[in-house]
Amino acid sequence: MQDIRKISFSDLVKFLENHNEPAFRAKQIYEWIWKKHVFSFDQMSNISKKLREHLQKHFYFNVTHVSQNLTSQDGTVKFIFRLYDGKKVEGVLIPTQKRITACISSQVGCSLDCSFCATGRMKLLRNLESSEIIDQVVHIQQKSLELYQRPITNIVFMGMGEPLLNYSNVIRAYVHLTDPKEMGLSTRRLTISTAGIAKGIKRLADDNIKAKLALSLHAPTDEKRIKIMSIHAQNNLKVLHEALQYYYSRMKQYVTYEYLLLKDFNDTLEDAKALVKWCRKIPCKVNLIEYNNTGTFTGSNPEQIKIFEQYLLQHDIPTSIRKSRGQDINAACGQLIIQDKSIILKE
């Protein structure tokens, strides 16, 4: 037997033909799976009982459940999702007046070890399937409609894991989420964030993936970045520059740089000058991120953050400060980690 959500549309058509069923049934089944998001063949009401029985003999659903959700004082909701094999990941619903954002995970744990990120303490257990990525969106959508009577407007791959190290499943999820016949979200409403996988950035361009690209930069020099992000050893600023130039030459889309401000480390005027120099390379914008406590660093004070922002703006670098959301439930940027005895942490 096989997970029905791993089968391609063309293979589903072949399966139906082999069972003397008309090909148009494939479109109906796909709509139930990817647009209506059912988790049972019995829910496919316009499919004959005989065909549903055939499907049940050959396929199954690996269902993702909500194990727990926590609501912040600011309205942010953190979800703990239990996967079919018992493993867990987290996702976040972030409401504002203008948008509803779903922050979703791409891996169980993470192979990277960025020193400011709680998820980096977890060992990578496995990649998420595309259906498990989409299930997070479906559950978050349901909660958004329940709490705020509004659907999701934006999706960010900024949860647990490195999206470009689970490239195939992330892109499959992206295709289903943006297909007009399925969830139908605008490609510009999705953001894929990376700690800096140069080969993956180039691959996004080669595959013409029109989601927004966000690079977790966090330091404007090789000397500083390597201290907080070990991945920088293989993806230094020169390598990233080449990948980003290639990306922009193909996509003509600006890149967002995520920049976490850490007190007395990367928040000085010299750092701001170096960041401006970096930003001149290709069209971009900068999101300045307040440090959310993970027990490792001290965040920059509000005055210094404002000074840093003003310097960038004075030098014509589009810049905004991303306010922390959900800190009181450990749902803010960098805080996602499964608090469970079954989780394996890095030594």
- Active-site positions read 90, 333
Which backbone phi and psi does 220 adopt, to 5 degrees? Answer: -95, 5
Work out whether the CA dihedral 66, 341, 156, 298 comes out positive or negative.
positive
Distance CA 173, CA 64 (A): 15
Torsion of CA 329, 335, 339, 345, to 10 degrees: -170
DSSP class of 346: P
How far is the CA of 48 from the CAs of 27, 28, 52, 254, in angstroms?
A: 14, 11, 6, 49
Joined together, the tokens standing for residue 238 give 């020169």
Of 105, 134, 124, 151, residue with least CA distance to 331: 105
The DSSP H or E segment spanning 176 is helix 167-178
Tell me the three state secondary structure of residue 28. helix
Amino acid occupying residue 74: D
Residues in contact with 142: Cβ distance below 8 Å, sequence separation at least 6, in sequence order: none
Place of tokens 């063949």: 41
Residues in contact with 94: Cβ distance below 8 Å, sequence separation at least 6, in sequence order: 76, 100, 101, 102, 103, 325, 326
Distance CA 305, CA 341 (A): 37
Pairing relation of β-strands 107-108 and 126-127?
Answer: antiparallel
**Distance, C-alpha 86 to centroid of its chain:** 21
